[in-house]
Structure 1
Amino acid sequence: MYLPFLLSLAMVGLARSSGCGRDIPSEFPSPGSSKSLHLPGTDREYRLYIPATYDKNRPTPLYFSFHGASKDMLEQEELSQFSNPEFNKDGIAIYPNSKNGYWLSNPKADTSRPNDLDFTNDLLSHMEELLCIDSSRVYSARKSNGGGFTIVIACNATVGSRFAAFASVSGAYYDNDETPGIGPCAPAQREKGYPFLEFHGTIDTTAPIDGSTSKNPKLPTIDILEGWAERNGCGHDAKWAQNVTVFENPLVKHAIWDCDGKNGIVQHYREGDNGHCWPSTVPNDDYTSHPDQCPLGKYVFNATEYIFDFFAGCRLEV
């Protein structure tokens, strides 16, 4: 596999949060398990996983995993497998819950305050206050509507600047320039850019890879990729540096953008014969519940494995 955008880890120190040295709060799950919780002072829910290897004195990476439209945090934990030590050996995983089944960017989302950007920002601060988080290694991954919300977070100068990298699976990318609570994409400037990884099936009819002109139009995936390549210094309508075949049957192509000295800063997997599904080498809920979208029953690679490999090479300078 092509290596993701790499930072020199020897030059980047661990960014210890204020929660380092504190015992795990009694209401949190014990190491090696998950638990559903409420963010204090709000009606917002989330599910938290703490790895068995957690050490209150060692800064730990934090992985956000956001569910798709009409789904929830429990389904996303099972689908993304971010609590599975096979993929996530030592990181904390957090599964935020939307207010009404939809994330900001979807026209059906509940935009009342605290809206989803406030919620994400406050939830991250809550984790950093109570657990030993490496603030240079906070990541965001999502499915479908959650994938579109990844873009909303990355485009927000306040919230997006706190995440080291982003990944989207079968993202539903609405045109959000004039959506209340979002506005145009205006990320904070940072020297190391915004690493972005995207997966999309060629037969996706829920969030078509080439976009749609339905009642709630969705943007083509290539527009999203070229937009992030441009923001990372590749220039307008930037084309990939490489576009290689990684699997022949089904055909999987891997496109890679190298921008302004940042190798692999934007990457994309184009999944032949796959629809609105989280790629997995074993059957998951997408494949069992939606055989029309996921006709193969499983896939030739694990998106979760690729996401963690990509995130491993990305850190913030804090």
Structure 2
Amino acid sequence: MHLTFLLSLAALIGISTAKTPGCGKAIPSLFPTPGTNQTLKLPGSDRQYQLYIPANYDKNKPTPLYFSFHGASGTMIIQEALSQFSNPLFNPNGIAIYPNSKNGYWLSHPKAETTRPNDLDFTNDLLNHMEEKLCIDTNRIYSAGKSNGGGFTGVIACNATVGSRFAAFAAVSGAWYNTDDIEGVGPCAPAEREEGYPFLEFHGTTDTTAPIDGNTKSDPKLPVIDILQGWAARNGCGDQAQWARNETVFAKPLVRHASWDCDGKKGIVQHYREGDNGHCWPSTVGNSDYVSHPDQCPLGKYVFNATEYIFDFFGGYQLAE
């Protein structure tokens, strides 16, 4: 068969043909054994990250890559346990990576270090490193984060250079700061691309750390609806676009799911509004958020797993060949 026909067939049936220099190479000896996590240092820098390689990793098969960013004053270790991107129940086939911030804060937070190389440089360099050492599917790279890590996921999506390498984005309890005047960030200006920018956000109605309606006091944060409408506009919905659907998915506690259809792309922007939940990563079995912050997470667990929903959302998107 002709190569062009094979490539067209692969696209039609949803098989990515994207490969990286790491394809065909043995896993580096310093990397974790498949099925486990390991803390590593990015060569040529002082930055650390934790890496998970799935048990079924095949050096000849392009593999999706999932970034998970910790919240303010958090760590990669905390984020691995919280998001569970290394759990095969949620992520049976992908590589998960948990970067560590410079000083406990990511770009967009007022306390984040902005000197170059900054967090965007680090993310770009870390992605280059993964593609050099492992067989990465460059069409299926994703970013998610909690709180400040969710806000940084938005910073990535807004960056024309780094964000263009990611297929979709998700934030849990995102801390949304105005970045227009922050060095190294600036106004949101993603590169134009045919696939658009799929964006998913979760937020508790009783969140007092990053209030769902914003905060204009000592630590000002933007309302979540402004972030969602911003991404709807960038995806072709126009300014102040209203959702196409806003449905009740759980009655007690009340959980509503809003979604926007933009430029022919159904549900490209989505939001889960969590009743009776605060600054917590939703989980049906509970997690460290529910143990450490009972005032924010009084239910002890929640009615859905945010991680499951994130992977379902990510599974619907990949970059074009």
Indicate whether the TM-score tops 0.5: yes
After TM superposition, list the pairs within 5 Å mapping 1:96-245 onto structure 2. Answer: 96-245=99-248
Distance 2:186 2:252 in 1: 41
Distance 2:17 2:94 in 1: 14
Distance 2:62 2:39 in 1: 23
1:9 Cα deviation (Å)? 5.6
| Alignment partner, residue 315 of structure 1 | 318
Is the partner of 1:88 in helix, strand or coil? coil
Greater relative CO, 1 or 2 (CA 8 Å, sep 6+): 1
1:17 Cα deviation (Å)? 1.1
Percent identical residues = 75
Is the partner of 1:126 in helix, strand or coil? helix
Letter in 1 for 2:119: D
Distance 2:279 2:301 in 1: 12
Is the partner of 1:127 in helix, strand or coil? helix
Q: Is the 8 A contact 1:169 1:198 kept in 2?
A: yes
| Alignment partner, residue 298 of structure 2 | 295
Distance 1:113 1:14 in 2: 34
Equivalenced residue count is 311
**Cα RMSD after superposing both structures:** 0.9
Letter in 1 for 2:35: G
Distance 1:97 1:200 in 2: 23
Distance 1:235 1:23 in 2: 47
1:12 Cα deviation (Å)? 5.8
- Alignment of 1:257 onto 2:279: no
Q: Is the 8 A contact 1:154 1:166 kept in 2?
A: yes
1:110 Cα deviation (Å)? 1.2
| Alignment partner, residue 67 of structure 1 | 70
Q: Is the 8 A contact 2:283 2:301 kept in 1?
A: yes
1:13 Cα deviation (Å)? 3.2
1:273 Cα deviation (Å)? 0.2
Letter in 2 for 1:196: F
Letter in 1 for 2:200: L
Distance 1:315 1:114 in 2: 28
Distance 1:163 1:296 in 2: 34
| Alignment partner, residue 272 of structure 1 | 275
| Alignment partner, residue 5 of structure 1 | none
After TM superposition, list the pairs within 5 Å mapping 1:10-49 onto structure 2. Answer: 10=13, 13-49=16-52
Distance 2:316 2:181 in 1: 34
Letter in 1 for 2:148: N
The answer to which of 254-263 and 209-218 deviates more is 209-218
Q: Is the 8 A contact 1:12 1:317 kept in 2?
A: no
Distance 1:192 1:112 in 2: 32
Distance 2:275 2:156 in 1: 28
Letter in 2 for 1:57: N
1:215 Cα deviation (Å)? 2.1
Relative to the length of structure 2, the TM-score reads: 0.96
Distance 1:9 1:31 in 2: 30
1:192 Cα deviation (Å)? 1.0
Q: Which runs of 4+ in 1 moved over 6 A?
A: none
Distance 2:248 2:212 in 1: 18
1:216 Cα deviation (Å)? 2.6
The answer to which of 73-82 and 211-220 deviates more is 211-220
Give unpaired runs (5+ residues) of structure 2.
1-10
Distance 1:297 1:34 in 2: 27
